[in-house]
Amino acid sequence: MRILDLHCDTLLKALLASQDGMPFSLVSNDLMLDIGRMVEGRYLGQFFAVFVPVEGVPGATPGEAAQAMLETAWKMIGMHTDGLQKDRERIRLAGDYAGIIANQEAGRLSAMLSMEGLGYLQGDLSLVGEFHAAGVRMAGPIWNIENEFAFPNSTDPQVMGRGLKPAGFDLVAELDRLGIIIDVSHLSDGGFWDCIQSSKHPVIASHSNSRAVCDHPRNLSDEMLKALADSGGVAGLNYCPAFLKDTGLPLGQGTSRIKDMVRHMLHIREVAGIEALALGSDFDGISGEFEIGDASEVVTLIPALEQAGFSPTEIDKVTHENILRVIRDVC
């Protein structure tokens, strides 16, 4: 058993630390994920998300703000590269299935890059090719704010029903062409269905759970989970308390419990099949109280899965094999 996780926001925390003039290390830090705790937690690899804060640039024109955000994205990619260089004996960048296996055989972890929200591209899809050249192998068109490509998940049914914009369909085609996995986690339901129907490759939700178990717009309905599975894709279990159980508490509060994680996984297995299950912790992008509080503790999920009736073969699929299949098929 090895852990291959689809989403963390550790690079965002690195960015914020640098903005505050604080040192930061991917090798060892006081956050939820670092290389040392990945080793301790028996990881195979981790997708590191490049998420640029969207508060805007005071006094800037839209074009100036987009340029500033693009520069920040490249800064985060540079910080990721620098962080990996400091521990090359234990972790290397991987660009495809063969790269991950080669790293594993050499006793190393694999790091992969994903983009979370691409609204600052301003229609310039050539930049997607530049991101690909830098190692990006997964991209979500949107975060939680409408952009040139799509509409976000929402409690407003009208927003939730809207699909991709024309530029969004162009983006899907470009991601397909380059071999970048399409991530639908933050999309509206309409955008989800447009990606499923227009992409030629498996589509994933890197950090989303079951809406039937916890009715949150960031989670997926049973119909969506089945369609994701039919595409050959996966849903990565998000450890955020608000996406695991409806407690009525504000986002960022509540307790993330292993038993609730297992409930989602059992339901997804039942409606979409074991091939649709994966892990997408959202480490360093979530807050609250956690029974699995950092990368070293993910292995504590395994006994709970065994007790719930998951076989060793199924656990291997959930923890890494299903994601490896998608990477092999797309990248």
pLDDT in tens, 11-23: 999 999 988 888 8
By the 8 A CB rule, do 222 and 215 touch? Answer: no
- Predicted pLDDT of residue 251: 82
Q: Over the stretch 164-217, which tens digit does the pLDDT of each residue have?
A: 999 999 999 999 999 999 999 999 999 999 999 999 999 999 999 999 999 999
State percent of the chain over pLDDT 70.
99
pLDDT at 86 over 70: yes
pLDDT at 58 over 80: no
The amino acid sitting at 90 is R
pLDDT at 110 over 70: yes
- Predicted pLDDT of residue 128: 98
pLDDT at 60 over 80: no
Q: Which residues contact 260 (CB under 8 A, 6 or more apart)?
A: 214, 244, 245
Q: What is the mean pLDDT of residues 59-88?
A: 92
pLDDT at 84 over 80: yes
Say how far residue 299 (Cα) sits from the centre of its chain: 19
pLDDT at 59 over 80: no
User: What tokens were used for 142?
Assistant: 């949107």
H or E element in which residue 43 lies: strand 43-50
User: How crowded is residue 148: how many other Cβ atoms within 10 Å of its Cβ?
Assistant: 18
Whole-Å CA distances, 289 to 6, 33, 261 = 21, 16, 14
Task: Write the DSSP symbol of residue 141.
Answer: S
Task: Write the DSSP symbol of residue 192.
Answer: H
User: What tokens were used for 306?
Assistant: 């065994």
Whole-Å CA distances, 256 to 210, 259, 277, 299, 315 = 15, 9, 18, 15, 20
Q: Which residues contact 111 (CB under 8 A, 6 or more apart)?
A: 45, 46, 48, 80, 84, 91, 92, 93, 94
- Predicted pLDDT of residue 57: 65
Q: CA–CA separation, 48 vs 300, rounded Å?
A: 22
